[in-house]
């Protein structure tokens, strides 16, 4: 019997015996389904049954705040609380420099995102998660834990695109989204921060440890939300997918999840890939250089040195505890501002040999990883979201607008109205017309897609295939946006997310995705994609009766597409 059912049975018994109120004529108070008892204490969320068919709990702390002396430490279990904790509002986003995909000034999608670009937003006290489940008494539901993307330097679970209500209802699952530390607050490979007391902590992979802590919280509390702790699917997109792959490879992930859905993200080093391709993972030496340079630049900014050589000489006079105290004494904003000013903003998992193997692909090839069913996804035109990366292929950047200008274009676009906006307002003239063979925007973005996401996908999935058969893949082909977004973006990176979550607004790309003209087709396609994720979460196989195609295992795939009015799903052997 589920916890929700027990409450109602207990309430009925109280009413019939007039015992719970001490014999009073007053109607006894019966907890609603939005009140749950978890290991850490009692929480009260939202009963949205009449609004969207779900119950939701937001802003649940799953670890102690990683602030002060806890900065650059492994997450610690959250302390229990007394009384009932309100969990109706999202917790703060993790501290980050503002970007298009960040939280703005208000931890929600609004106009302040465009006004806070490249300035610190969010908080270091950010280790919160959110839970949605169907408004029913069902128990034993599959649990889907989602890790957001954002290059591991930006992103937040309060982004409305990640609202879990539609997916929870459609998939009949418990959906969890969680924050994790970003940038150098989440990945910091600095010798002076290593104590030798905790090898996981010394790895510098604090963000991965945050996700592990979140998964431990789920194991403790899944049943309280009607979920099955023995059937947890870890899903992530972009950098979130790289983090999912990291935990598939990591011994710390063992037993915490049972299926993986990495979308548009890889785990390959340059040494795993052909020449001319773009890796998704850097060796530990890259993050070591970043950390040492950041420390030196902070010393210079404080007037303790005048240049890098004298900064390094000064640092050499300080003990490891002194350096650690110095860094923990800096404000998070000062750290982020120094990072940005010196071009040090890259971030990601550190292959340290403890938390993450030195070569995860080699670990997969050797069979020394957490073997579990995998449903991977990519979009057909991933590269179109990364116009500046065309410089890596020897050409100019793809867009001629700033991020602030682009935000305004997207924020104010009216998909159901006439527009004067054209490709030429956004794309570099070198790539126009966009459909020109070889040199056009679409052709050049395709080269970028193949060199990055395509190469990484093939590398990891083909390696896994030598060890297991239960690997599935989808390609997202939908490009029915109103012009000019249908060619500027098309099936770009992240454009499958609204379909996976069933959320088409408000969000950064909601207006670009479109209004009434394509509504019927995209809603039908979204329904199939959510059903596929739900079926995979239940069984480890995404095939379901209404899909309309038989989904083959990798290297086969299903291609998700739609006309303006109907889903178009095809299987490719």
pLDDT tens sequence across 140-165:
999 999 999 999 999 999 999 999 99
Question: What is the rounded CA–CA span in Å between residue 158 and residue 181?
Answer: 15
The upper half-sphere exposure of residue 515, i.e. CA atoms within 13 Å in the direction of its Cβ, equals 9
- CATH number (domain holding residue 80): 3.40.50.1820
Q: Are residues 94 and 15 in the same domain?
A: no
> Count of domains in the chain?
3
Strands 374-379, 259-263: pairing kind: parallel
Percent of the chain with pLDDT over 70: 95
**CA 258-266-381 angle, 5° bins:** 115
Domain boundary residue, one of 339, 372, 405: 372
| pLDDT at 28 > cutoff 60 | no
Q: Are residues 336 and 447 in the same domain?
A: no
Q: Are residues 21 and 91 in the same domain?
A: no
Contacts of 561 (CB under 8 A, 6+ apart): 476, 477, 478, 525, 567, 568, 569, 570
| Confidence (pLDDT) at 26 | 47
Q: Are residues 405 and 350 in the same domain?
A: no
For every residue of 97-142, which 3-state class applies, written as one string?
A: ECCCCCCCCCCCCCCHHHHCCCCEECECCCCEEEEEEECCCCCCEE
Q: Are residues 255 and 173 in the same domain?
A: yes
Question: What is the rounded CA–CA span in Å between residue 435 and residue 395?
Answer: 17
| Confidence (pLDDT) at 31 | 85
Compute CA 325 distance to the chain's CA centroid, rounded to the nearest angstrom.
Answer: 31
Specify the 3-state DSSP secondary structure of 520: helix
- pLDDT tier at 307 (50, 70, 90 boundaries)? very high
pLDDT digits (tens, 9 = 90+) for 221-236: 999 999 999 999 999 9
| Confidence (pLDDT) at 20 | 34
Range(s) of the domain holding residue 503: 381-572
Q: Are residues 20 and 154 in the same domain?
A: no
Check if the beta carbon of residue 53 is closer than 8 Å to that of residue 95. no
Question: What is the rounded CA–CA span in Å between residue 199 and residue 201?
Answer: 5
Contacts of 504 (CB under 8 A, 6+ apart): 498, 510, 513, 522, 526
Give Dmax over CA atoms of the chain in angstroms: 83
Q: Are residues 288 and 245 in the same domain?
A: yes
Q: Residues 70-81: what's their mean pLDDT?
A: 98
Q: Are residues 317 and 464 in the same domain?
A: no
pLDDT digits (tens, 9 = 90+) for 402-429: 999 999 999 999 999 999 999 999 999 9
pLDDT, averaged across the chain: 95
Q: Are residues 97 and 24 in the same domain?
A: no
Whether the link from the prior residue into 484 is cis, omega within 30° of 0, is yes
Specify the 3-state DSSP secondary structure of 451: helix
Domain boundary residue, one of 341, 372, 403: 372
167 conformational bin, left if phi > 0, alpha if psi -120 to 50, beta if neither: alpha
Cross-strand pairs, 48: 54
Q: Are residues 105 and 246 in the same domain?
A: yes
Q: What share of the chain is helix, strand, coil (3-state, %, to 5)?
A: 40, 15, 45
Domain boundary residue, one of 372, 397, 413: 372
Check if the beta carbon of residue 86 is closer than 8 Å to that of residue 380. no
Q: Residues 241-256: what's their mean pLDDT?
A: 98
Question: What is the rounded CA–CA span in Å between residue 486 and residue 380?
Answer: 13
Question: What is the rounded CA–CA span in Å between residue 392 and residue 444?
Answer: 11
Number of helices (H) and strands (E) in the chain: give both, helices first.
20, 16
| Confidence (pLDDT) at 411 | 98
Q: Are residues 82 and 227 in the same domain?
A: yes
| Confidence (pLDDT) at 29 | 65
Q: Are residues 391 and 350 in the same domain?
A: no
């Amino acid at each position: 019997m589920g916890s929700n059912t027990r409450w109602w049975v207990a309430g009925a018994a109280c009413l019939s015996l007039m015992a719970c109120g001490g014999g009073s004529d007053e109607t006894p108070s019966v907890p609603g389904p939005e009140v749950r008892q978890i290991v850490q204490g009692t929480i009260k969320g939202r009963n949205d049954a009449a609004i969207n068919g779900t119950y939701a709990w937001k802003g649940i702390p799953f670890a102690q705040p990683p602030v002060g002396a806890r900065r650059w430490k492994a997450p610690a279990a959250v302390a229990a609380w007394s009384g009932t904790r309100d969990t109706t509002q999202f917790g703060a986003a993790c501290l980050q420099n503002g970007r298009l995909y960040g939280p703005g000034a208000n931890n929600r999608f609004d106009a302040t995102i465009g006004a806070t670009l490249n300035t610190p937003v969010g908080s270091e006290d950010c280790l919160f998660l959110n839970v949605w489940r169907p408004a029913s008494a069902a128990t034993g539901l599959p649990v889907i834990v989602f890790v957001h993307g954002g290059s591991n330097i930006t992103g937040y679970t309060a982004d409305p695109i990640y609202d879990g209500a539609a997916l929870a209802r459609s998939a009949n699952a418990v959906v969890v989204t969680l924050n994790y530390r970003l940038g150098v607050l989440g990945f910091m490979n600095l010798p002076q921060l290593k104590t030798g007391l905790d090898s996981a902590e010394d790895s510098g992979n604090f963000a991965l440890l945050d996700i592990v802590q979140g998964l431990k919280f789920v194991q403790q509390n899944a049943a309280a939300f009607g979920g099955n702790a023995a059937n947890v699917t870890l899903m992530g997109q972009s950098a979130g997918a790289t983090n999912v792959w990291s935990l598939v490879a990591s011994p710390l992930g063992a037993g915490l999840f049972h299926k993986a859905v990495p979308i548009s993200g890889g785990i390959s080093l340059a040494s795993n890939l052909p020449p001319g391709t773009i890796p998704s993972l850097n060796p530990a030496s890259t993050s070591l250089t970043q950390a040492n340079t950041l420390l030196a630049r902070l010393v210079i900014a404080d007037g303790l040195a005048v240049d890098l050589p004298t900064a390094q000489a000064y640092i050499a006079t300080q003990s490891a505890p002194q350096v650690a105290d110095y860094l923990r004494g800096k404000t998070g904003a000062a750290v982020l501002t120094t990072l940005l000013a010196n071009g040090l903003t890259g971030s990601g998992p550190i292959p340290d040999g403890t938390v993450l193997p030195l070569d995860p692909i080699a670990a997969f090839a050797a069979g020394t990883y957490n073997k579990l069913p995998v449903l991977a996804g990519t979009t057909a035109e991933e590269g179109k979201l990364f116009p500046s990366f065309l410089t890596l292929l020897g050409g100019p950047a793809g867009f001629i607008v700033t991020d602030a200008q682009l935000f305004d274009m997207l924020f104010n676009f009216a998909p159901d109205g006439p527009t004067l906006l054209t490709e030429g307002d956004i794309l570099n003239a070198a790539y126009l017309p966009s459909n020109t063979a070889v040199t056009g925007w679409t052709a050049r973005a395709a080269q970028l897609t193949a060199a990055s996401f395509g190469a990484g996908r093939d590398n990891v999935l083909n390696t896994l295939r030598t060890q297991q058969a239960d690997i599935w893949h989808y390609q997202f082909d939908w490009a029915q946006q109103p012009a000019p977004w249908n060619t500027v973006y098309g099936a770009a990176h992240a454009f499958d997310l609204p379909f996976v979550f069933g959320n088409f607004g408000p969000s950064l790309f909601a207006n670009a995705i479109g209004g009434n003209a394509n509504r019927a087709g995209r809603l039908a396609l979204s329904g199939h994609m959510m059903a596929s994720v739900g079926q995979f979460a239940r069984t480890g196989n995404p095939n379901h009766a209404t899909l309309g195609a038989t989904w083959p295992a990798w290297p086969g795939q299903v291609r998700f597409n739609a006309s303006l009015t109907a889903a178009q799903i095809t299987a490719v052997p």
